[in-house]
Amino acid sequence: MTKREIAFLLIGLGFGLMFAEVVIFKVLVSLYRMKFIVAYAWDWVILVVPALLLLAGMVLIFYRSRSTRISN
């Protein structure tokens, strides 16, 4: 598995987690409006992890070692 493949896997995982958070948020908002739940709170780790995965993937894609820059 190459570094580029790992980067795209990290980016896909980050986007997937972001979409999952949006769905969870929509469900919680609808339950809140129907008065099934009174309050909810987000943990900061849940919001930061997908962004970190996206950032790590982007760094792996755009970072090239010195030997590959010279040869290209």
Who has greater pLDDT, 72 or 32? 32
Q: Residue 58 sits in which domain range?
A: 3-63
Residue 65: the pLDDT is: 60
CA 44, 49, 50, 52 torsion-angle sign? positive
Query: Span 32-52, mean pLDDT?
Result: 81
- What pLDDT score does 15 carry? 93
pLDDT-derived band at 16 (thresholds 50, 70, 90) equals very high
Q: Is residue 22 situated within a structural domain?
A: yes
Residue 36 lies in a domain: yes
Question: Does residue 33 have a pLDDT over 60?
Answer: yes
Q: Look at residue 47 in the predicted model and tell me its pLDDT.
A: 82
Say how far apart CA 52 and CA 49 lie, in whole Å. 5
In-domain check, residue 72? no
Q: Taking the model in full, what pTM does it have?
A: 0.70
Q: How many domains does the chain have?
A: 1
